Amino acid sequence: MNPKTQKALVVLSGGQDSTTCLYWALQRFGRGNVSAVTFDYGQRHRIELDCARKIAALAGVPQTVLPIDTFAAIGGNALTDAAIAPQQGGNADESTLPNTFVPGRNLIFLTFAAALAYTRGEAHIVTGVAQTDYSGYPDCRENTLKALELAIRLGMDAPLTLHAPLMYMSKAETVRLAQEVGAMEALAWSHTCYNGAVPPCGECDSCRLRARGFAEAGVADPLVERTARS
Amino acid sequence: MNPKTQKALVVLSGGQDSTTCLYWALQRFGRGNVSAVTFDYGQRHRIELDCARKIAALAGVPQTVLPIDTFAAIGGNALTDAAIAPQQGGNADESTLPNTFVPGRNLIFLTFAAALAYTRGEAHIVTGVAQTDYSGYPDCRENTLKALELAIRLGMDAPLTLHAPLMYMSKAETVRLAQEVGAMEALAWSHTCYNGAVPPCGECDSCRLRARGFAEAGVADPLVERTARS
């Protein structure tokens, strides 16, 4: 089977990892075979949606924005609940998950992506989740994805495949992959900061993780360069 | 472990099967340990939501209604897309699923139920899906549920259990179970008809399946009796 004849749907949040995966998918499946889905789930920082839109346009990829109003109705986490501030610097109590954990978020994103792919005849779903730097999120781990892939295949009776090309990469390796697949221009418009700041705050866990990756790869972050210039 | 000390969340659609499961859960987990979640996902027949509300009240169980606006945005099925009429009498082409199949619906319902249960410390999720009469829906099968349970446990890092007490029951056995667990009064307010009719149309696949179950069990359907009286 020639993968270039198959269609892929990339879950595009507008962050560094999913942006890199979008370009990885373009290289692997070929231009014209890749589309993107972005979830509008009540995230604290609406700027993520603008970034995803801009990046899909830069990549020349059709994008579907799907609403999910359910997480906000469930509440209880810092990403969709305005009354809760995101935790900084890891957890005070390491036995619990950070309060930025939205239970089931990736399970839901990938299942809706699979439902959309099913209706459009796309066989491949690509996600930017990574186990290496998974920050305490169990739904970013390989074993979760494998179990979910099975549930989706059985539940939709369709040969859908979940791809997580960054799963075992360090942030530095992800930066090098972005260079290889031509994602650097788009990364200048990607979003990472938990505080929603542009230029990025540089202080939150998410900014630090990103900065460390670029530093270790010996590459300047195009987002930092672009926003420092402007 | 005494199951009566644990809490359960029942996915209550307002139909015959989930209503029966609600009373099964009350018997198994004990009054005070059971709550219900109903999804408002743009279903064609809003009467289902009224039925679920009425039944939760009759059972004395707290009910949460969660919105899901995503299926309608994906479109392409007869249950949430007003432009598509539900198929009757099975599929013309048996190799395809009926157009009432909403891809991933049960996967999504159970994952959101698990997310809600997670935030409230409920360990058990109960669903009325059944493999015996599964009508071509692959997400009602045991293997799908087992894979999904694993994905949820791994993805939320929590010992959540999915229960599907009707999985291998015939419709007649489900009627007998409803008698055993005291669900008959509530079943007078349950909803099944694909055409959304009250009294039930008696013609659609869903009405016929229900009628056959009551007939085989030798029991009068309290819904038919109530609506014939009124």
The pLDDT tens digits for B83-130 are 666 555 444 444 455 666 678 999 999 999 999 999 999 999 999 999
Two tokens, residue A111: 């299942």
pLDDT band at B142 (very low <50, low <70, confident <90, very high): very high
CA distances from B171 to A31, A171, B27, B193, B215 (A): 50, 54, 20, 15, 10
Asked if the Cβ–Cβ distance from B114 to A104 is below 8 Å, we say yes
Q: pLDDT tens digit string along B3-53?
A: 556 999 999 999 999 999 999 999 999 999 999 999 999 888 889 999 999
Q: What is the ipTM of this complex?
A: 0.89
């993107």: which residue's tokens?
A36
Q: Is the pLDDT of residue B136 over 80?
A: no
- How far is the alpha carbon of B204 from chain A, nearest alpha carbon, in Å? 24
Indicate which of A66, A101, A102, A108 best probes the interface with B, i.e. most B CBs within 10 Å of its own CB: A108
Segment (H or E) for B181: none
Identify the burial level of B23 via C-beta atoms within 10 angstroms of its C-beta, where 0-12 means exposed, 13-18 middle and 19 or more buried: buried
- Percent of the residues in chain B that have a pLDDT greater than 70, as a whole number: 84
Return the biggest CA–CA distance within chain B: 51
Instruction: Return phi, psi of residue A37, to 5°.
Output: -125, 135
pLDDT score for A79? 56
pLDDT score for B117? 96
Cβ neighbors of B110 (< 8 A, separation 6 or more) are B11, B125, B127, B145, B148, B152, B162
The domain tally of chain B equals 1
Q: pLDDT tens digit string along B150-163?
A: 999 999 999 999 99
Using CA atoms, how far apart are residues A174 and A157, in angstroms rounded to an integer? 33
Give, for all 230 residues of chain A, the pLDDT tens digit. Answer: 455 569 999 999 999 999 999 999 999 999 999 999 999 998 888 899 999 999 999 999 999 999 999 999 998 665 566 666 655 544 444 445 566 667 899 999 999 999 999 999 999 999 999 987 656 688 889 999 999 999 999 999 999 999 999 999 999 999 999 999 999 999 999 998 888 888 889 998 889 999 999 999 999 999 999 998 76
* Mean pLDDT, rounded, of chain B: 88
Closest-CA residue to B156 (of B121, B199, B193): B121
pLDDT score for B98? 61
DSSP class per residue in A61-129: --EEEEE--HHHHH--STTT-TTSPPP-SS-SSTTS--TT--TTHHHHHHHHHHHHHHHHT--EEE---
Asked if the Cβ–Cβ distance from B68 to A68 is below 8 Å, we say yes
List the Cα angle B148/B16/B160 in 5-degree steps: 25
pLDDT score for B92? 40
Two tokens, residue A192: 């990472």
Are B79 and B86 contacting, i.e. CB atoms less than 8 angstroms apart?
yes
pLDDT band at B77 (very low <50, low <70, confident <90, very high): low
pLDDT score for A96? 55
Using CA atoms, how far apart are residues A191 and A75, in angstroms rounded to an integer? 23
* A182: number of Cβ within 10 Å: 13
Are B6 and B161 contacting, i.e. CB atoms less than 8 angstroms apart?
no
When CB atoms are compared, the residue of A69, A118, A148 closest to B155 is A148
Residues A62-87 as b/e (b if ≥16 CB within 10 A, e otherwise) read ebbebebbbbbbbebbbbbbeeeebb
Residues B203-222 as b/e (b if ≥16 CB within 10 A, e otherwise) read ebbbbeebbebbeebebebb
- How far is the alpha carbon of A74 from chain B, nearest alpha carbon, in Å? 6
Two tokens, residue B165: 């007490």
Which structural domain, as residue segments, surrounds residue B81? 3-229
Q: What is the CATH number of the domain that holds A76?
A: 3.40.50.620
pLDDT score for A92? 40
